[in-house]
Amino acid sequence: MHHYMKIKRVPELLERITDPGARILCGGTDLVVKMRSGAIDPTLLLDISDTEALRGIEGKEDRLIIGAATTVSEIIADRLVAEKLPLLQTVLRTLGSTQIRNRATLGGNLVNASPAADSAIPLLLYQADVNISGIHGDRRVPVEDFLVAPGKTTLTSGEFVRGVSIPAPNAAFGSFFHKVGRRKAMIIAIASLGALVSMKDDVINEIRLAAGSVAPRPIRMRELEQAITGKLVTKALIEHAKTMAINSVSPIDDVRASADYRREVIGELVARVMRDAVSG
Ligand SMILES: Cc1cc2nc3c(=O)[nH]c(=O)nc-3n(C[C@H](O)[C@H](O)[C@H](O)COP(=O)(O)OP(=O)(O)OC[C@H]3O[C@@H](n4cnc5c(N)ncnc54)[C@H](O)[C@@H]3O)c2cc1C
């Protein structure tokens, strides 16, 4: 038996968040699956899906602040996001089905901390911060440090995610996203790669790369980025980048794909992004 509480305001959440057996519920698309399978058995569900302070999208100076309980569908439909962070929409359009996107939230996707969490890719590329609140106050952590391992974040007891704060990039980036999965409609990625690239003729002026499902958490590929920045994109450079990508990841074997196959895929995706960047 579990109790259920609809949270309207943050102080109500802070009052109950450390209750034994308490668990935050938002869209429920991950949590309910885990409860049904018996993986977790919370005694108190704190439903934050209607908590005013955790919802909505707001522009503040050169940043966008997105509340944790904002749904994926709401983010996809937002005009400010379309203008400032187009890759966030491109990626979120591939998350689950329409029904899932209508319930799934940005905060839930991050805290669930799957190595395949799609929202992490654009958030890593745009260098977002996670706004954390809790019984001891507020803090802010780069998304790159927030995600630790499968199901594990830097959240401590008594803390929750209030939202994310994303700087709108000032450079004109081309953006790319590729996700390889087994089923077309509802792809949980076998491997995914996102990129923000600015080119000067055929030379890479700036590049950011982020990969999903090829490590215990979604990752920025910083060594690879550095190795190809300022370089003319040639066949040889693409081959070099591919090898570096294959060697820099640490995927696992699971029911969906082998580790070797995931390495091969990420190498191919890096090559594809570089070719796409040159051809505009
Ligand atoms: C059929 C199906 C397809 C899917 N496809 C994809 C996909 O393609 N890509 C993908 O990335 N994911 C996919 N998912 C996973 C899931 O939909 C997403 O991870 C979703 O964003 C989770 O959000 P939610 O609001 O439903 O989280 P919930 O299930 O409500 O919560 C998830 C976890 O986060 C915690 N939590 C939620 N919000 C907060 C908060 N603000 N602060 C602290 N803790 C919090 C909860 O306690 C729970 O542990 C899929 C799921 C299903 C069932």
User: Does residue 265 have its Cβ closer than 6 Å to ligand 1?
Assistant: no
User: What are the Cα distances from residue 255, in Å, to 23, 29, 45, 147, 261?
Assistant: 29, 21, 31, 23, 12
pLDDT tens-digit series, residues 197-221: 999 999 999 999 999 999 999 999 9
Q: What is the pLDDT of residues 149-174, one digit of tens each?
A: 999 999 999 999 999 999 999 878 99
- What is the average pLDDT value for the chain, to the nearest integer? 95
pLDDT at 183 over 70: no
Give the per-residue pLDDT at 255.
81
Count how many Cα atoms sit within 13 Å of the Cα of residue 270 in the half-sphere of its side chain: 34
- pLDDT at position 1, please? 67
Q: Shortest CA distance to 166 belongs to which of 87, 49, 109?
A: 87
pLDDT band at 90; cut points 50, 70, 90: very high
Asked if residue 232 has pLDDT above 60, the reply is yes
Residue 256 — pLDDT band, cuts 50, 70, 90? confident
Kindly tell me if the per-residue pLDDT of 262 is higher than 80.
yes
Asked whether residue 100 carries a pLDDT value surpassing 50, the answer given is: yes
Per-state percent for the chain, helix, strand, coil, to nearest 5: 35, 30, 35
Q: Where are the alpha helices (DSSP H) in 71-162?
A: 72-77, 79-84, 86-92, 98-103, 106-112, 120-125, 143-146
Q: Average the pLDDT over 36-56 and give the result.
A: 96
Q: For the chain, which domains are there?
A: 50-167 (3.30.465.10), 174-278 (3.30.390.50)
Query: What pLDDT is stored for residue 224 in this prediction?
Result: 98
CA of 104 to the centre of ligand 1 (A): 6
pLDDT bracket for residue 185 (50, 70, 90): very low
Confidence grade of residue 113 (pLDDT, cut at 50, 70, 90): very high
- Cα of 150 vs centre of ligand 1, distance in Å, is 13
Q: Give nearest CA residue, ligand 1 atom 52.
A: 29
Buried b / exposed e over 63-85, threshold 16 CB at 10 Å, is ebbbbbbbbbbbbbebeebeebb
Q: Is 134 in the pocket of ligand 1 (CB under 6 A)?
A: no
Model pLDDT, residue 89 = 98
- Determine the 3-state secondary structure of 138 from DSSP: strand
Q: What is the pLDDT of residues 48-83, one digit of tens each?
A: 999 999 999 999 989 999 999 999 999 999 999 999
pLDDT at 2: 81
- What percent of the chain is predicted at pLDDT more than 90? 90
* CB of 111 shorter than 6 A to ligand 1: yes
State if residue 31 touches ligand 1 by the CB under 6 angstroms criterion: yes
